[in-house]
Amino acid sequence: MKKLLLFLLCVIIALTGCSSFNEETAKKEIEKQVNTFYNNLLMEDIDSVMSQVSTDSEQYYDLYDEYRDTFKKYNYDYKLREISYDQISKDAVVVSVYLNISGVNLEQEYDSYDVVQVFTFKPVSNGKWKINQLESKYDFK
């Protein structure tokens, strides 16, 4: 009987350890992903940008077209001001990113605006997250 209880206790501890969700680890990974995303935009590396977006995302091809057109027409700089976490769970992490986008277009006209972008990240593998949805809210001009 003791062996059975000990076995059950070990199984419960093992399952609890495997299924636990660490918010701090997820936050660090998401913050790293967001920074990498904007660095890739700054470098105009569309392959790296799109590798962070889930191919299951309904926006995948729209985002690809949007960034390709942006890279052709503008030379933008992306300055992150703040990252805030709206939802954190093992199924999804939603973050709002406040940033300043500034730069010049092909006619050398300067443009600058502040934007809030809302990212929805979904887990794809052990500790890895991909962008499943991206929404821009142009609140400040």
Q: Would you say residue 118 lies in a domain?
A: yes
d(CA 71, CA 38): 13
Domain that holds residue 77: 22-140
Q: Residue 17 pLDDT more than 70?
A: no
Q: Would you say residue 1 lies in a domain?
A: no
Supply the pLDDT for residue 114: 93
What's the whole-number mean pLDDT along residues 4-22?
Answer: 62
Whose structure tokens read 């059950």? 8
Phi, psi of 40 (to 5 degrees): -65, -35
What's the whole-number mean pLDDT along residues 87-98?
Answer: 94
Here the CATH number for the domain that contains residue 98 is: 3.10.450.50
Q: Would you say residue 17 lies in a domain?
A: no
Q: Report the predicted TM-score, pTM, of the whole model to 2 decimal places.
A: 0.80
